[in-house]
Chain A
Amino acid sequence: MINYLWAFMILIGIVVGVLGGNIAEISNATINSSKEAVSLCIAMLGVMSMWTGLMQVAKKTGLVTSFTKALRPIICFLFPDIPKGHIVNEYIASNMIANILGLGWAATPMGLMAMKELKKLNNNSDIASCDMCTLLIVNISSLQLIPVNIIAYRSQYGSINPAEIIVPGIIATTISTLVGVIFATVARKLSKHR
Protein backbone atom coordinates (compact mmCIF):
# COMPACT_ATOMS: atom_id res chain seq x y z
CA MET A 1 0.00 0.00 0.00
CA ILE A 2 2.64 2.48 1.11
CA ASN A 3 4.78 1.64 -1.91
CA TYR A 4 2.11 2.77 -4.33
CA LEU A 5 1.16 5.79 -2.23
CA TRP A 6 4.74 7.01 -1.99
CA ALA A 7 5.63 6.42 -5.63
CA PHE A 8 2.37 8.02 -6.72
CA MET A 9 2.93 11.11 -4.60
CA ILE A 10 6.41 11.71 -6.01
CA LEU A 11 5.49 11.06 -9.62
CA ILE A 12 2.34 13.18 -9.56
CA GLY A 13 4.19 15.96 -7.75
CA ILE A 14 6.94 16.08 -10.33
CA VAL A 15 4.53 15.99 -13.27
CA VAL A 16 2.39 18.81 -11.84
CA GLY A 17 5.54 20.75 -11.06
CA VAL A 18 6.87 20.48 -14.58
CA LEU A 19 3.51 21.52 -15.98
CA GLY A 20 3.27 24.40 -13.51
CA GLY A 21 6.86 25.53 -13.98
CA ASN A 22 7.86 24.91 -10.36
CA ILE A 23 10.77 22.59 -11.03
CA ALA A 24 13.30 24.68 -9.07
CA GLU A 25 11.06 24.65 -6.00
CA ILE A 26 10.75 20.89 -6.24
CA SER A 27 14.48 20.43 -6.42
CA ASN A 28 14.99 22.57 -3.33
CA ALA A 29 12.11 20.96 -1.51
CA THR A 30 13.67 17.52 -1.89
CA ILE A 31 16.85 18.54 -0.15
CA ASN A 32 15.21 20.74 2.46
CA SER A 33 12.65 18.11 3.38
CA SER A 34 15.26 15.53 4.14
CA LYS A 35 17.10 17.97 6.37
CA GLU A 36 13.86 18.91 8.06
CA ALA A 37 13.05 15.29 8.81
CA VAL A 38 16.26 14.98 10.78
CA SER A 39 15.81 18.16 12.84
CA LEU A 40 12.29 17.06 13.56
CA CYS A 41 13.45 13.70 14.88
CA ILE A 42 15.94 15.41 17.14
CA ALA A 43 13.13 17.48 18.63
CA MET A 44 10.90 14.43 18.93
CA LEU A 45 13.65 12.47 20.66
CA GLY A 46 13.25 14.64 23.73
CA VAL A 47 9.50 14.62 24.04
CA MET A 48 9.05 10.96 23.11
CA SER A 49 11.70 9.73 25.52
CA MET A 50 10.26 11.84 28.31
CA TRP A 51 6.87 10.29 27.72
CA THR A 52 7.96 6.67 27.38
CA GLY A 53 10.15 7.16 30.44
CA LEU A 54 7.17 8.33 32.47
CA MET A 55 5.03 5.47 31.16
CA GLN A 56 7.68 2.95 32.14
CA VAL A 57 7.54 4.28 35.71
CA ALA A 58 3.76 3.95 35.60
CA LYS A 59 4.05 0.40 34.32
CA LYS A 60 6.52 -0.62 37.00
CA THR A 61 4.42 0.75 39.85
CA GLY A 62 1.58 -1.49 38.80
CA LEU A 63 -0.66 1.46 37.90
CA VAL A 64 -1.17 -0.15 34.53
CA THR A 65 -2.27 -3.45 36.06
CA SER A 66 -4.85 -1.73 38.24
CA PHE A 67 -6.22 0.12 35.24
CA THR A 68 -6.53 -3.21 33.46
CA LYS A 69 -8.70 -4.55 36.29
CA ALA A 70 -10.77 -1.38 36.17
CA LEU A 71 -11.50 -1.96 32.50
CA ARG A 72 -13.04 -5.37 33.04
CA PRO A 73 -16.70 -4.20 33.15
CA ILE A 74 -16.25 -2.24 29.93
CA ILE A 75 -14.76 -5.25 28.21
CA CYS A 76 -17.64 -7.45 29.34
CA PHE A 77 -20.08 -4.97 27.82
CA LEU A 78 -18.27 -4.51 24.53
CA PHE A 79 -17.39 -8.16 24.02
CA PRO A 80 -20.24 -10.21 25.49
CA ASP A 81 -19.27 -13.28 23.49
CA ILE A 82 -15.97 -13.78 25.29
CA PRO A 83 -16.06 -16.31 28.15
CA LYS A 84 -15.12 -14.78 31.51
CA GLY A 85 -11.54 -15.37 32.57
CA HIS A 86 -10.35 -16.14 29.05
CA ILE A 87 -6.85 -14.82 28.36
CA VAL A 88 -8.11 -12.63 25.53
CA ASN A 89 -9.65 -10.29 28.14
CA GLU A 90 -6.13 -9.47 29.33
CA TYR A 91 -4.91 -8.82 25.80
CA ILE A 92 -7.81 -6.54 25.00
CA ALA A 93 -7.44 -4.65 28.28
CA SER A 94 -3.69 -4.16 27.71
CA ASN A 95 -4.37 -3.08 24.14
CA MET A 96 -6.86 -0.44 25.28
CA ILE A 97 -4.68 0.84 28.13
CA ALA A 98 -1.61 1.07 25.92
CA ASN A 99 -3.63 2.99 23.33
CA ILE A 100 -5.05 5.35 25.95
CA LEU A 101 -1.57 6.05 27.27
CA GLY A 102 -0.29 6.68 23.78
CA LEU A 103 1.91 3.57 23.63
CA GLY A 104 0.88 2.60 20.12
CA TRP A 105 3.82 0.26 19.61
CA ALA A 106 2.90 -1.63 22.80
CA ALA A 107 -0.78 -1.66 21.92
CA THR A 108 -0.40 -3.28 18.53
CA PRO A 109 1.23 -6.56 19.65
CA MET A 110 -1.47 -6.94 22.32
CA GLY A 111 -4.15 -6.23 19.76
CA LEU A 112 -2.73 -8.81 17.38
CA MET A 113 -2.58 -11.44 20.11
CA ALA A 114 -6.21 -10.65 20.94
CA MET A 115 -7.21 -11.10 17.29
CA LYS A 116 -5.54 -14.51 17.13
CA GLU A 117 -7.34 -15.66 20.25
CA LEU A 118 -10.65 -14.28 18.99
CA LYS A 119 -10.23 -16.29 15.82
CA LYS A 120 -9.76 -19.46 17.85
CA LEU A 121 -12.91 -18.63 19.79
CA ASN A 122 -14.64 -18.23 16.45
CA ASN A 123 -13.89 -21.78 15.29
CA ASN A 124 -11.01 -20.49 13.15
CA SER A 125 -13.50 -19.07 10.69
CA ASP A 126 -12.44 -16.90 7.78
CA ILE A 127 -15.20 -14.46 8.67
CA ALA A 128 -14.69 -11.74 11.26
CA SER A 129 -16.57 -12.34 14.48
CA CYS A 130 -18.56 -9.52 16.07
CA ASP A 131 -15.90 -9.23 18.75
CA MET A 132 -13.18 -8.73 16.16
CA CYS A 133 -15.19 -6.00 14.47
CA THR A 134 -15.80 -4.24 17.77
CA LEU A 135 -12.14 -4.46 18.77
CA LEU A 136 -11.03 -2.95 15.51
CA ILE A 137 -13.62 -0.19 15.45
CA VAL A 138 -12.67 0.82 18.99
CA ASN A 139 -8.98 0.76 18.08
CA ILE A 140 -9.43 2.80 14.94
CA SER A 141 -11.65 5.38 16.64
CA SER A 142 -8.44 6.17 18.51
CA LEU A 143 -8.37 5.77 22.25
CA GLN A 144 -5.26 7.86 22.64
CA LEU A 145 -5.81 10.59 25.20
CA ILE A 146 -2.59 12.57 24.97
CA PRO A 147 -1.15 13.02 21.48
CA VAL A 148 2.47 13.33 22.52
CA ASN A 149 3.98 13.45 19.05
CA ILE A 150 1.59 16.17 17.87
CA ILE A 151 2.53 18.25 20.89
CA ALA A 152 6.20 17.73 20.05
CA TYR A 153 5.65 18.87 16.45
CA ARG A 154 3.70 21.93 17.59
CA SER A 155 6.49 22.89 19.94
CA GLN A 156 9.10 22.40 17.23
CA TYR A 157 7.21 24.71 14.88
CA GLY A 158 6.89 27.53 17.35
CA SER A 159 3.57 27.01 19.08
CA ILE A 160 3.23 29.28 22.10
CA ASN A 161 1.19 26.73 23.97
CA PRO A 162 1.65 23.32 22.35
CA ALA A 163 -0.35 21.43 24.95
CA GLU A 164 -3.49 23.56 24.62
CA ILE A 165 -5.07 21.05 22.26
CA ILE A 166 -5.02 18.20 24.75
CA VAL A 167 -8.49 18.60 26.27
CA PRO A 168 -10.25 19.48 23.02
CA GLY A 169 -8.53 16.46 21.48
CA ILE A 170 -9.74 14.24 24.32
CA ILE A 171 -13.30 15.46 23.80
CA ALA A 172 -13.12 14.78 20.07
CA THR A 173 -11.60 11.36 20.48
CA THR A 174 -14.14 10.43 23.15
CA ILE A 175 -16.94 11.37 20.77
CA SER A 176 -15.43 9.35 17.93
CA THR A 177 -14.99 6.34 20.21
CA LEU A 178 -18.55 6.66 21.54
CA VAL A 179 -19.92 6.77 18.01
CA GLY A 180 -17.77 3.76 17.14
CA VAL A 181 -19.02 1.82 20.16
CA ILE A 182 -22.65 2.66 19.38
CA PHE A 183 -22.15 1.57 15.79
CA ALA A 184 -20.47 -1.68 16.81
CA THR A 185 -23.15 -2.50 19.39
CA VAL A 186 -26.02 -1.76 16.99
CA ALA A 187 -24.35 -3.67 14.16
CA ARG A 188 -23.83 -6.63 16.47
CA LYS A 189 -27.51 -6.68 17.52
CA LEU A 190 -28.63 -6.34 13.90
CA SER A 191 -26.42 -9.17 12.70
CA LYS A 192 -27.62 -11.47 15.47
CA HIS A 193 -31.21 -10.97 14.46
CA ARG A 194 -30.55 -11.98 10.89
Chain B
Amino acid sequence: MEVKVNFIVYLSDYIIPFLFFYIIGYSLLTKTSTYDEFIKGAEDGFKVVFDILPTLIGLMIAIGILRSSGALDLLSGTLKPITDFLHFPSELLPITLVKMFSSSAATSLLLDIFKEYGPDSYLGRLVSIILSSTETIFYTLAVYFMAAGVSKTRYTLAGALVSTLAGTIASVLITQLVF
Protein backbone atom coordinates (compact mmCIF):
# COMPACT_ATOMS: atom_id res chain seq x y z
CA MET B 1 0.00 0.00 0.00
CA GLU B 2 2.85 2.36 0.91
CA VAL B 3 4.52 1.70 -2.42
CA LYS B 4 1.35 2.23 -4.43
CA VAL B 5 0.55 5.43 -2.56
CA ASN B 6 3.97 6.92 -3.05
CA PHE B 7 3.85 5.95 -6.68
CA ILE B 8 0.92 8.27 -7.32
CA VAL B 9 2.78 11.21 -5.82
CA TYR B 10 5.91 10.10 -7.69
CA LEU B 11 4.00 10.12 -10.96
CA SER B 12 2.82 13.67 -10.34
CA ASP B 13 6.45 14.77 -10.10
CA TYR B 14 7.07 13.43 -13.58
CA ILE B 15 4.16 15.06 -15.36
CA ILE B 16 5.46 18.59 -15.76
CA PRO B 17 9.00 17.65 -16.89
CA PHE B 18 7.48 15.03 -19.18
CA LEU B 19 5.12 17.52 -20.80
CA PHE B 20 7.95 19.94 -21.41
CA PHE B 21 10.14 17.23 -22.89
CA TYR B 22 7.40 15.84 -25.11
CA ILE B 23 6.03 19.12 -26.43
CA ILE B 24 9.34 20.89 -26.94
CA GLY B 25 10.99 17.78 -28.32
CA TYR B 26 8.13 17.32 -30.76
CA SER B 27 8.34 20.95 -31.81
CA LEU B 28 12.01 20.52 -32.73
CA LEU B 29 11.09 17.52 -34.86
CA THR B 30 8.43 19.52 -36.69
CA LYS B 31 10.83 22.45 -37.06
CA THR B 32 8.53 24.86 -35.24
CA SER B 33 10.14 28.02 -33.86
CA THR B 34 9.85 26.77 -30.28
CA TYR B 35 11.09 29.77 -28.32
CA ASP B 36 9.20 32.36 -30.38
CA GLU B 37 5.93 30.49 -30.01
CA PHE B 38 6.56 30.05 -26.31
CA ILE B 39 7.00 33.79 -25.87
CA LYS B 40 3.85 34.46 -27.87
CA GLY B 41 1.86 32.09 -25.69
CA ALA B 42 3.37 33.52 -22.53
CA GLU B 43 2.18 36.97 -23.55
CA ASP B 44 -1.35 35.59 -23.74
CA GLY B 45 -0.87 34.24 -20.23
CA PHE B 46 0.04 37.73 -19.08
CA LYS B 47 -3.22 39.10 -20.45
CA VAL B 48 -5.23 36.44 -18.66
CA VAL B 49 -3.66 37.26 -15.30
CA PHE B 50 -4.09 41.00 -15.72
CA ASP B 51 -7.73 40.45 -16.60
CA ILE B 52 -8.20 38.55 -13.38
CA LEU B 53 -6.51 41.09 -11.10
CA PRO B 54 -9.43 43.51 -10.50
CA THR B 55 -11.83 40.64 -9.88
CA LEU B 56 -9.37 39.00 -7.54
CA ILE B 57 -8.93 42.19 -5.54
CA GLY B 58 -12.68 42.65 -5.17
CA LEU B 59 -13.29 39.08 -4.14
CA MET B 60 -10.36 38.74 -1.79
CA ILE B 61 -11.59 41.79 0.04
CA ALA B 62 -15.05 40.27 0.38
CA ILE B 63 -13.62 36.96 1.60
CA GLY B 64 -11.24 38.76 3.94
CA ILE B 65 -14.18 40.56 5.50
CA LEU B 66 -16.23 37.39 5.78
CA ARG B 67 -13.39 35.45 7.30
CA SER B 68 -12.17 38.05 9.77
CA SER B 69 -15.70 38.66 10.99
CA GLY B 70 -15.96 35.03 12.00
CA ALA B 71 -18.97 34.46 9.75
CA LEU B 72 -17.33 31.51 7.97
CA ASP B 73 -16.43 29.80 11.24
CA LEU B 74 -20.01 30.31 12.32
CA LEU B 75 -21.29 28.60 9.18
CA SER B 76 -18.88 25.67 9.48
CA GLY B 77 -19.71 25.31 13.14
CA THR B 78 -23.43 25.14 12.52
CA LEU B 79 -23.15 22.53 9.80
CA LYS B 80 -20.45 20.52 11.57
CA PRO B 81 -22.74 17.79 12.94
CA ILE B 82 -23.95 16.92 9.45
CA THR B 83 -20.57 16.96 7.77
CA ASP B 84 -18.90 15.06 10.60
CA PHE B 85 -21.48 12.36 10.10
CA LEU B 86 -20.44 12.25 6.43
CA HIS B 87 -16.73 12.34 7.32
CA PHE B 88 -16.42 15.58 5.36
CA PRO B 89 -14.36 18.37 6.97
CA SER B 90 -16.77 21.19 7.78
CA GLU B 91 -14.04 23.76 7.20
CA LEU B 92 -14.28 22.99 3.48
CA LEU B 93 -18.04 23.42 3.34
CA PRO B 94 -18.11 27.13 2.40
CA ILE B 95 -15.65 26.68 -0.46
CA THR B 96 -17.37 23.60 -1.87
CA LEU B 97 -20.67 25.49 -1.94
CA VAL B 98 -19.23 28.75 -3.28
CA LYS B 99 -17.33 26.95 -6.05
CA MET B 100 -20.66 26.11 -7.64
CA PHE B 101 -21.36 29.80 -8.12
CA SER B 102 -18.10 31.61 -8.69
CA SER B 103 -14.59 30.39 -9.25
CA SER B 104 -12.98 33.69 -8.21
CA ALA B 105 -14.79 33.63 -4.87
CA ALA B 106 -13.76 30.00 -4.45
CA THR B 107 -10.16 30.99 -5.18
CA SER B 108 -10.22 33.55 -2.37
CA LEU B 109 -11.55 30.91 0.01
CA LEU B 110 -8.89 28.49 -1.23
CA LEU B 111 -6.11 30.95 -0.42
CA ASP B 112 -7.69 31.45 2.96
CA ILE B 113 -7.47 27.75 3.66
CA PHE B 114 -3.85 27.69 2.52
CA LYS B 115 -3.10 30.58 4.85
CA GLU B 116 -4.88 29.04 7.79
CA TYR B 117 -3.88 25.38 7.47
CA GLY B 118 -1.05 25.39 4.92
CA PRO B 119 -1.22 23.86 1.43
CA ASP B 120 0.43 20.63 2.55
CA SER B 121 -1.98 19.84 5.34
CA TYR B 122 -4.73 17.27 4.87
CA LEU B 123 -7.24 20.09 4.36
CA GLY B 124 -4.92 21.95 1.99
CA ARG B 125 -4.42 18.92 -0.20
CA LEU B 126 -8.05 17.84 -0.10
CA VAL B 127 -9.31 21.25 -1.13
CA SER B 128 -6.75 21.42 -3.95
CA ILE B 129 -8.01 18.13 -5.29
CA ILE B 130 -11.67 19.04 -4.91
CA LEU B 131 -11.15 22.30 -6.79
CA SER B 132 -9.18 20.53 -9.50
CA SER B 133 -12.06 18.19 -10.20
CA THR B 134 -15.05 20.54 -10.17
CA GLU B 135 -16.35 23.53 -12.10
CA THR B 136 -18.64 26.49 -11.47
CA ILE B 137 -21.97 24.84 -12.15
CA PHE B 138 -24.36 27.76 -12.22
CA TYR B 139 -22.09 30.19 -13.97
CA THR B 140 -21.20 27.77 -16.78
CA LEU B 141 -24.82 26.72 -17.21
CA ALA B 142 -25.94 30.34 -17.42
CA VAL B 143 -23.29 31.40 -19.93
CA TYR B 144 -23.66 28.43 -22.26
CA PHE B 145 -27.45 28.37 -22.33
CA MET B 146 -27.71 32.14 -22.65
CA ALA B 147 -25.39 32.09 -25.64
CA ALA B 148 -27.58 29.49 -27.31
CA GLY B 149 -30.79 31.21 -26.30
CA VAL B 150 -32.20 28.15 -24.58
CA SER B 151 -34.33 28.46 -21.48
CA LYS B 152 -35.49 24.91 -20.74
CA THR B 153 -32.42 23.09 -19.51
CA ARG B 154 -33.97 19.70 -18.63
CA TYR B 155 -31.62 17.32 -16.87
CA THR B 156 -28.46 19.39 -17.22
CA LEU B 157 -28.43 20.81 -13.70
CA ALA B 158 -29.12 17.40 -12.15
CA GLY B 159 -26.30 15.85 -14.15
CA ALA B 160 -23.92 18.65 -13.19
CA LEU B 161 -24.74 18.31 -9.50
CA VAL B 162 -24.39 14.54 -9.57
CA SER B 163 -21.01 14.62 -11.26
CA THR B 164 -19.76 17.37 -8.93
CA LEU B 165 -20.87 15.31 -5.95
CA ALA B 166 -19.07 12.27 -7.36
CA GLY B 167 -15.93 14.32 -7.86
CA THR B 168 -16.05 15.63 -4.31
CA ILE B 169 -16.57 12.18 -2.80
CA ALA B 170 -13.79 10.78 -4.98
CA SER B 171 -11.49 13.60 -3.86
CA VAL B 172 -12.09 12.80 -0.19
CA LEU B 173 -11.45 9.09 -0.72
CA ILE B 174 -8.33 9.65 -2.79
CA THR B 175 -6.84 12.19 -0.40
CA GLN B 176 -7.33 9.80 2.49
CA LEU B 177 -5.72 7.02 0.48
CA VAL B 178 -2.73 8.84 -0.89
CA PHE B 179 -1.77 11.28 1.84
Contact = CB atoms under 8 A, between A and B. Distances in A.
A76 interface: no
Given A132-B150, A172-B133, A5 B102 contact: yes
Given A29-B64, A33-B63, A140-B163, A115 B144 contact: yes
Interface of B: 8-9, 11-13, 15-16, 19-20, 23-24, 26-27, 30, 32, 34, 37-46, 48-50, 52-53, 56-71, 74, 101-102, 105, 107-108, 110-111, 114-115, 118-120, 124-125, 128-145, 147-156, 158-160, 162-164, 166-167, 170-171, 174-175, 178
Contacts, number: 362
A192 to B, nearest CB: 12
Nearest to A101: B19
Contact of B162 (A16, A112, A147, A183): A183
A169 B32 CA distance: 32
A10 B62 CA distance: 5
Given A140-B135, A142-B135, A165-B125, A176 B167 contact: yes
Interface string A87-116: 000000000000000000100100110011
A116 B119 contact: no
Interface residues of A, number: 100
A123 interface: no
B61 A34 contact: yes
Secondary structure at the B interface, as helix, strand, loop or mixed, is helix
A187 interface: yes
A128 B153 contact: yes
A194 B131 CA distance: 36
B62 to A, nearest CB: 4
Q: Among B69, B129, B175, which residue has the most Cβ atoms of chain A within 10 A?
A: B69
